[in-house]
Every structure is written in structure tokens, then in C-alpha cells.
Amino acid sequence: MRPRQVLDYVSMALIWGLSFLLLLKVVQGFGWVGAIAFRALIASGVLAALAWATGRRLRFGPWKPLALVGATTVAGQLIGLSIATPLIGTAMTAIFVGTIPLFSMVIGQLWGIERVGRTARIGLLTGFAGIILLVGFPAVPVSARFLAGCGIALFGAACAALGSNLASRHLKAVGSWEQTIGAFFFGGAFMLPMLVVVPVPDRPAPLDYGYLALLAILCSSLAYVLYFRLVAEAGATIAISVEFVVTVIAVLVGALWLGEHLSVVQLVGGAIIIAGCALVLGLFPRRPAAAPPT
């Protein structure tokens, strides 16, 4: 990668890895529904305003595929993150986020979007074995709260994978800016009515609004612009692999800053999940084919 691409890669990893700290603050201030709805709508609005200010012409195409991607990649994934992080901590949630490529590969295979080779199948089995270790041998007692957090985190990862496959299948002709603006708009719009059921807990403090703005503008708008630019320039595999670095940063943040604990078996499980995803994404170098005898 070129120096600017490396800078984009490192910036995304740091932004998303540290975003869990902001996420916890925003969920405390606005509730998990408000955190998702306001974050998504602000992110969509900021990107739309930036596109208008720079003279970028937006062509959104059909609205139904954008609505589906918004319901899954944005609303579904952020539901998983926003509920799971307070329940099981940043480290565990981040490791579950790292399973997105596993779910994406399964869905892509079922839909006939991509073919799963032998190495990818090994990666799938390896990754799901890591999930079993991660959930089955925690450093805390296995409680209903813990299992609920794990389940909702996996739900969020599966939604993200479903949304990426929906976008690949139905939005190939739609630009990355339009996809991001439309998905965040619909994701936020879908969550707004739920504020009737899960309202904002109390009047948020002024600092909470600052946390929300940072989460929406920095961790959603800016990070996704960097992500889609890296996808276009360096390829999807390299771009998606940033999730592994995000996981490492989030685990370190959870352990060193928030005092979270993972058992040795869970750490092994997390490493196995990352290895499985790397196999699925084809990040391990392949041995060159042997030259035919002369």
C-alpha cells in the first residue's frame, strides 16, 4: 500500500477501536435506541452536507435496497454493538465484530454470490470453533446477562454480514457515498419510532452531545469515507482486514482502560477467530505452485 493508504488503514483501526469508549458514553446518555437513531441520522446528514458543499452529484437509485441495507448494516449491527457492549464489555464485543467475515462468507455461499474454497471452509470451521471457546469459557460466571450479550453481539455481526451481501447483490451501480448516506438515513429512520418504547433516559448532559457528535462524525461519517476509499484503491480484502486490528485495539482498551478481564481460553478463542477470518479472506500467503518437471 502507498503511504496515504497506510495512513487511512491505521486511522480507521484507531477510530473504530477507540469508538467503543464513545459508544458506552453515548448509550449511557441517550439510551441504546437514541444512540443508534441520532448517530445514524447525524452521520447521514453530515455526509450529505459534505457532498453538497463539494459539488458531488448523488444518484441513489432504488430506495428499497438502500432501506434493506440500512435496516441490517446500520440498525441491526448498531443494535448489537449498543446493547452488547454494556453487557459483556468492549473486548468481547469487538471480538464478535471480528466474526463478520465468517457470516458474510456463509451468506455469500448460500446466495451464490461467491464460492467457498477449501481454505475458506477451514477458516469457517476454525472461526466458529473460536466462538465456542469465547462463549463457553468466560472469565465471569455464565449468566443470562452474559449469554444475552453474546447473542445480541452475534446478531449484530450477522446483520452486518447480511447487509454487505445485500449491497453486493443489489447496489453495485450505486456509489459508496450514496450507499453510506442512504443506509445511515434509513437505519436511523427505522430506529426513531422505537424511542416511544425505549426513550432517552434523562436529559443528556452537554458533554453527552459532544460524545454523540464525535461518534457520528468521526466514527461513522469520516471512517466510512476512508473505508470506501481504501476498498476502491487497495481492494475489499485489505480493507475488511482492518477489523482484526480494531479487535486488538478494543481488547487493549478494555483491559488497560476499563479493567475488563478475559480468560486465557477466551484469548485463545479470539486468536482462533482472527485466524479463521484471515483464512476466509485469503490473507495468508499461498505457496507457489510447483513447476512441472522438465
Task: Please choose, from the candidates 173, 215, 216, the residue with its C-alpha nearest in 3D space to the C-alpha of residue 18.
Answer: 215
DSSP code at position 57: -
Which residue range is the domain that position 118 belongs to?
A: 3-281
CA distances from 245 to 33, 103, 240, 254 (A): 28, 19, 10, 14
Indicate if the pLDDT at residue 29 is higher than 50.
yes
Does 70 reside within a domain?
yes
Query: How does pLDDT run across 174-231, given as a tens digit for each residue?
Result: 887 888 899 999 999 999 999 999 999 888 999 999 999 999 999 888 887 787 777 6
**C-alpha cell, 277:** 477470518
Tell me if 204 sits within 8 A of 30, measured CB to CB: yes
Is pLDDT at 282 greater than 80 in this prediction?
no
| CA dihedral for 204, 28, 246, 84, sign (positive or negative) | negative
d(CA 150, CA 18): 20
Residue 291 in any domain: the answer is: no
| Euclidean distance between CA atoms 75 and 23, whole angstroms | 14
Structural domain total, the chain = 1
Return the number of other C-beta atoms located less than 10 Å from residue 124's C-beta. 21
What's the chain's average pLDDT? 83
Residue (of 233, 201, 108, 118) closest to 158 by Cα position: 108
Cα 253 to Cα 24: distance, rounded to the nearest angstrom: 13
The pLDDT of 112-136, averaged and rounded, is 74
Q: Is 226 domain-assigned?
A: yes
Q: What single-letter DSSP state applies at residue 218?
A: I
| Selection from 197, 203, 206, 171 nearest residue 186 by Cα | 171
Residue 286 lies in a domain: no
Query: Which residues have C-beta within 8 Å of that of residue 204, sequence separation ≥ 6?
Result: 29, 30, 212
pLDDT tier at 3, thresholds 50, 70, 90: confident
In a domain, 217, yes or no: yes
The pTM of the whole model exceeds 0.95: no
Helix and strand totals (H; E) in the chain: 12, 0
Answer whether residue 294 is part of any domain: no
> Whole-angstrom Cα distance, residue 26 to residue 14?
18
Answer yes or no: is 273 within a domain.
yes
Residue 189 falls within a domain, yes or no?
yes
For 242, residues 6+ apart whose C-beta sits below 8 A from its C-beta are 9, 12, 13, 16, 227, 230
Distance CA 237, CA 282 (A): 8
Report the C-alpha gap between 212 and 34 in whole angstroms. 10
